[in-house]
Structure 1
Amino acid sequence: MDKLVFKHLKITRGYFIKNVESLSKEIVNVQPDGFNNTIQWHIGHVLTVAEQFMLGFPHKTTYLPANYIELFGNGTKPADWKEDVPTVDKLIIELKDQLVRLQQIPAERLNETLEKPFMGLETFGELAGLTLMHEANHLGQIQAMKRIIEQTGVKN
């Protein structure tokens, strides 16, 4: 089972990166009607949340800049951005680097009990499952946004 979780992380992240790399740079900062964020935000959000859930960001890991919480954390939105935001290309590099670090998590860690249950989850392995679901959900949002932007011709 442990190998399966890490295999799913690799497959899901690989598919996420493949989809993001295929996006036109003209659409990543477009926020279509009915959506709260941009594609660029979704990419940064997936990166930031995976770092929080799986690697303890910002307290236990410093691989990402601390301001990613303010840019991409839950409840944030591009309309509130006041500082320079990392490019999609930089976020893609960070997603790839993060996958390497995720693959280095010891399998036995999946059985560890969380210090405090999170959303009804009690083990680190259950949190890994939530991370997978979260990433797949945001990939669906990105794919939907891409289709709407391309069909409506909305520009940045």
Structure 2
Amino acid sequence: MLDLQEFFSDDNPVVADLILSSRASTSPGDELESMRHSIPAQREMATLLSEYGVDRLAERTFSAVSILRRVLDRYRRVCRQLDASPSQSRQDALKAQDQLHAAKLSFEFDRAQWESERQQSADAATYTAERYQDDVKELVHEHNANKRSLQEEVSKLRQELEDSQAYQRI
């Protein structure tokens, strides 16, 4: 998997530790046997087996590496083709990408503008409703005061009428 090195910067050694790489030479049998019985190797095997299971683990691991190599080869081929000729399709793709970016910016600008206008309308409606609500309350209060005043005057006039009628009977 040394083919993956080109995708990672040299100043990031952590990534290099995460990549599987083949040994330069095979280990002798006794060294392999002692390594297999070591606690760190047993932990690593237990982790692999708990995640992937024992069924054809080696075959699936090597197949995954082969598939990754094929994907990398295909990726490199496409990159070489794109770099070799500044084709119209590449220019079209870059132009479309620029247009998409411009459309996204325009959408965000329009959305912000409409949101601002909506907020202004909502604020104006709230202000108007509050203002008219206060006006209506004041009118109702004034109406009730006038009504009480008129009721008092009617009551006073009735009393005067009754007094006047009583005076005429005498």
If you compute each CA radius of gyration, which structure gives the higher value, 1 or 2?
A: 2
Higher helix share: 2
With the length of structure 2 as denominator, give the TM-score of the two structures: 0.28
Does 1 or 2 have the higher relative contact order (CA < 8 Å, sep 6+)? 1
Q: Which has the higher strand share?
A: 1
